[in-house]
Amino acid sequence: PRPILLTRHGESRDNVRGRIGGDTALSEAGGLYAKKLANFVEKRLKSERTASIWTSTLQRTILTASPIVGFPKIQWRALDEINAGVCDGMTYEEIKKNMPEEYESRKKDKLRYRYPRGESYLDVIQRLEPVIIELERQRAPVVVISHQAVLRALYAYFADRPLKEIPHIEVPLHTIIEIQMGVTGVQEKRYKLMD
């Protein structure tokens, strides 16, 4: 069985300020996570010559991958974070205050709620299909460095979790979720590299 390693990017400057979306660089802690991840990946995949590193097209995932050397890196637009449309760059408090109806609709049905001029979780799940097909086809290990909403959807696919749970699955920062697909089913390990 070959592992798939799922991780969010290291903490970004927007994570620190509580802003959603955007395309900011990493915080100091996020930069430290990138180094720890590189260490982990180099040890874990030492003997795996054909492994690859997949990121989104957003800086925070590319910067998180940058200390990893010795493996090819591929950028996927389909791995970009959920598009928050008109809410991009806002905090949840700002959305609640300035767009209370949007805030309430999302709370009521987070799976189906689509941000104005943006995406819903269902949209994200749909655009991930080619990524999933390619992940299934790979014989070698893959490290996927992406974002909270996208990783919830990918994780749910491999862990066989129901659709309605997806927007609520816990995918914390600075934690690697290792998935192994064997004949007996899927095995999962989590490695928390930082607090």
Catalytic residue among 9, 127, 152, 174: 9
- Binding flag, residue 30, ligand F6P (CB under 6 A): no
CB 28 within 8 A of CB 36: no
Catalytic residue among 19, 81, 83, 127: 81
- Residue with smaller CB distance to ligand F6P, 39 or 57: 57
- Binding flag, residue 147, ligand F6P (CB under 6 A): yes
Query: Does residue 147 have an active-site annotation?
Result: yes
CB 12 within 8 A of CB 89: no
Helices (H) and strands (E) in the chain, counts: 8, 6
Contacting range for ligand F6P; rule: CB under 6 A; set: 13-21, 29-37, 59-67, 158-166: 13-21
- Binding flag, residue 20, ligand F6P (CB under 6 A): yes
152 known member of a binding site: no
CB 142 within 8 A of CB 5: yes
CB 178 within 8 A of CB 186: no
10 known member of a binding site: yes
**Tokens representing 128?**
């991930």
Strand partners, 91: 19
User: How, if at all, do strands 175-182 and 52-55 pair?
Assistant: unpaired
- Binding flag, residue 9, ligand F6P (CB under 6 A): no
- Residue with smaller CB distance to ligand F6P, 149 or 154: 149
- Binding flag, residue 51, ligand F6P (CB under 6 A): no
Position among 82, 131, 151, 166 found at the interface with ligand F6P (CB under 6 A): 82
**Other beta carbons within 10 Å of 151:** 20
- Binding flag, residue 124, ligand F6P (CB under 6 A): no
Cα gap 32→3, rounded to integer Å: 24
Cα gap 24→13, rounded to integer Å: 6
60 known member of a binding site: yes
Catalytic residue among 147, 152, 174, 178: 147
The footprint of ligand F6P on residues 150-189 (CB under 6 A) is: 167
Annotated binding-site residues for substrate read 8-15, 60
For the annotated catalytic residues, the residue numbers are: 8-9, 15, 60, 81, 147
